[in-house]
């Protein structure tokens, strides 16, 4: 059983649909880079498990789903939407993942560690994480504070397709939001 108390391990906000290569059926990539340099290195989130949200050009939330089963990981779920009747309705997506990054792997692009069947946490963490997902995904206009995931949860920015094979530079770690 997992002992850390974290439900959400990492997340990406408002990634661009056009910055993903949707041609790959099963082995497409969703490459992110930690916002803070201490979390340096690129990570492929295509096999992430968790919750995702789709948005239109005006950042209006149009769909929420989950990625979790064997053939229902994040990339296959998003790819299905990219080729469905919803395909013209969304341009961005956010995701909230429960799999940790495998920082032990010494590769250019890191993968994920499998999530245990049970995650031990407490009521406060569950409520904080559920609230954070809703605030970050829905951006309610009356919420003045952001969601509270805690310091151990990492925010990842999308790496554009044309930069996925380049080494990160200092501007990649800027804390400013788009």
CA distance 12 to 156: 5
Structure confidence by residue, pLDDT tens digits, 105-130: 756 778 888 887 788 888 888 899 99
| 85, pLDDT greater than 60 | yes
Q: For residue 61, what are the contacts with CB-CB under 8 A and spacing of at least 6?
A: 53, 54, 55, 137, 138, 139
Cα–Cα distance list, 54 to 20, 38, 91, 137, 138 (Å): 14, 29, 8, 9, 10
- Residue 114: the pLDDT is 83
Which residue blocks in the chain are alpha helix, DSSP H? Answer: 74-82, 123-138
Distance CA 178, CA 168 (A): 18
The model's pTM is 0.84
The proportion of the chain whose per-residue pLDDT surpasses 90, expressed as a percent, equals 48
Evaluate whether 8 touches 153 at the Cβ level (below 8 Å): yes
Q: Is the pLDDT of residue 77 over 90?
A: yes
Q: In what order do the strands lie in the sheet with 50-55?
A: 61-67, 50-55, 92-97, 10-16, 154-158, 31-34, 42-44, 109-110
CB 125 within 8 A of CB 7: yes
Mean pLDDT of the chain: 85
Close Cβ partners of 119 (under 8 Å, ≥ 6 residues apart): 1, 2, 6, 7, 98
Confidence of residue 9 (pLDDT cuts 50, 70, 90): very high
Query: For the segment 19-67, what is each residue's pLDDT rounded down to a tens digit?
Result: 999 988 777 899 999 887 555 688 999 999 999 999 999 999 999 999 9
């Amino acid at each position: 059983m997992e002992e850390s108390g974290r439900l959400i391990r990492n997340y990406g906000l408002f990634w661009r649909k056009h910055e993903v290569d949707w041609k790959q059926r099963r082995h497409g990539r969703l490459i992110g880079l930690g916002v803070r340099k201490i979390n340096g290195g690129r990570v492929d989130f295509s096999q992430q498990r968790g919750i995702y949200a789709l948005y239109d050009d005006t950042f209006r939330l149009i769909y929420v789903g989950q990625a979790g089963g064997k053939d229902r990981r994040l990339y296959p779920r998003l790819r299905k939407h990219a080729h469905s009747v919803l395909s013209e309705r969304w341009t961005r997506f956010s995701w909230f993942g429960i799999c940790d990054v495998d920082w032990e792997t010494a590769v250019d692009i890191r993968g994920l560690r499998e999530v245990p069947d049970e995650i031990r946490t407490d009521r406060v963490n569950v409520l904080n994480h559920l609230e954070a997902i809703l605030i970050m995904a829905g951006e309610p206009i009356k919420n003045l504070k952001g969601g509270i995931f805690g310091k151990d949860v990492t925010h990842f920015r999308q790496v554009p397709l044309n930069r996925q094979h380049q080494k990160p530079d200092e501007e990649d770690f800027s804390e400013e939001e788009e």
